[in-house]
Amino acid sequence: MSETTPMDALFTPLTLGDVTITNRIGMSAMTRNRADQTRVPSSLMKKYYLQRALGGAGLIVTEATLICPQGSQYNRSPGIWNMDQVAGWRKITNVVHLARSRMYCQLWHMGRLGDPDSDEFVSCVRSNVLTRMIKRSTAQPVYGPSAIPAKSRKACFHYLGGTRELGPVPTEIPDPSTIVAQFKNAAIHAKLAGFDGVELLAGNGFLVDQFLDSGSNIRTDQWGGSPENRARFGLEILKALGDVFGPNVSMKISPGGGLNDMGMPLEEAIATFSYFVSEADKLKLSYIVFSRFRPQLDVLPEGKPRGTPHDLLATYGKLVRNAKTFVVGAVTPAEAENLVTTGQVDGVFFGTLWITHPDLAKRIRHGKYIDNLFAVPHLYGDVDVDPKLGYTDYPTITY
């Protein structure tokens, strides 16, 4: 694809919270599983993010980063609950800043999508079998807002080899404020690691989304029931993150559902997310990113789509008065320029195009082809496969 328009709107600086980014092109959070065994960010990750900073990304959002040990199905996805992890991230933010890009850390709790049989706790201590058993017996359970498992686990879980259809029934979180505190602790660590801000992963069917959705949250206390109560968990987290990062707090939401067994009837989805967006916006976030429904990721648990696709910008854009608005999901450079020019969004995120093109923003700026082929089998890395493949080996253009 060759872009011939000048793309001037995309290359206008933008202020997010108290940070100014050089253009409107963000790199969306993408899990790539290249941290080390103990979930410490690796030197290979440093190279990967630096390549994209040098490639002109105005803002880079890290891959989803675990706020606490929680049995992640994603081997080698990074964490930010201990000081080794903070030190690993610090090396990455340092080089990204030297390349004149800015970096947010995406904070992640998987909730009911955790894997009780993962080596999460074990890998943290590089232990023998006995220690494993002890660790597992003292580990946190797989938590959810309510004791409702996600349906179609096969489609949700990349690393279970399709051997299980249904996961464990999650344990209802006794006191959600303890998890709010874990998010705050992760934000304190993100600050120490030199991040410019944090993005709360409040979409894609993970824990915050599970609280928002009436299909996964049937609590009868103040954390469940009405849209106000279901939104409370996300809003409390955003407030806690603001205590640490001031105006440099953002969130990603996916009101159209579909992914990881999320989806409310359309009217309820709109009522819930309208309330959530309006209240979140009152907290003076730096930006809100709307993640568009992607039919290929709808898990079709009973052969029927779970998602309720609707026009996110038309429905919720008007409710955002303070934060900057971003969109992600199959956006093309030409559409991005149009969305910014017409004022529908302040900026865009690209996902997969950044995987395949380390110099994506430069290519867009210079009207170059965006034509690298996608090495799909290497998306999440694999055991005994060189982690550089399909990660740091995509070619750039000489300018």
Ligand X SMILES: Cc1cc2nc3c(=O)[nH]c(=O)nc-3n(C[C@H](O)[C@H](O)[C@H](O)COP(=O)(O)O)c2cc1C
Residues numbered 133-192 forming contacts with ligand X, rule: CB under 6 A: none
Site for ligand X contains 298 (CB under 6 A): no
Q: Which of 330, 334, 370, 375 binds ligand X (CB under 6 A)?
A: 330
Residue nearest to ligand X (CB): 351
Residues numbered 58-77 forming contacts with ligand X, rule: CB under 6 A: 63-64
Which amino acid is residue 220, in one-letter code?
Answer: T
CA distance 187 to 105: 9
Read off the tokens for 303: 């052969």
Which amino acid is residue 178, in one-letter code?
Answer: T
CB under 6 A: which stretch of 17-25, 154-162, 230-238, 344-352 binds ligand X?
Answer: 344-352
Of 53 and 208, CB closest to ligand X: 208
Of 93 and 291, CB closest to ligand X: 291
Residues in the chain, total: 399
Q: Which of 283, 379, 382, 388 binds ligand X (CB under 6 A)?
A: 379
Distances (CA, A) of 339 to 12, 23, 134, 225, 361: 13, 14, 53, 36, 16
Residues 6+ apart with CB under 8 A from 212: 202, 230, 231, 233, 234, 272, 273, 276
Closest contact distance (angstroms) between CB of 138 and ligand X is 28
Site for ligand X contains 352 (CB under 6 A): yes
- Check: CB of residue 95 under 8 Å from CB of residue 113: no
CB under 6 A: which stretch of 52-60, 232-240, 332-340, 346-354 binds ligand X?
Answer: 346-354
Provide the CA 146 distance to its chain's centre, in angstroms: 22
CA distance 12 to 21: 9
Closest contact distance (angstroms) between CB of 74 and ligand X is 8
Q: Which of 72, 85, 152, 204 binds ligand X (CB under 6 A)?
A: 204
Site for ligand X contains 252 (CB under 6 A): yes
H or E segment to which residue 25 belongs: strand 25-27
Which amino acid is residue 307, in one-letter code?
Answer: G
CB under 6 A: which stretch of 144-152, 160-168, 210-218, 347-355 binds ligand X?
Answer: 347-355
Contact residues toward ligand X (CB under 6 A) are 28-31, 63-64, 106, 201, 204, 252, 291, 328-331, 350-353, 379
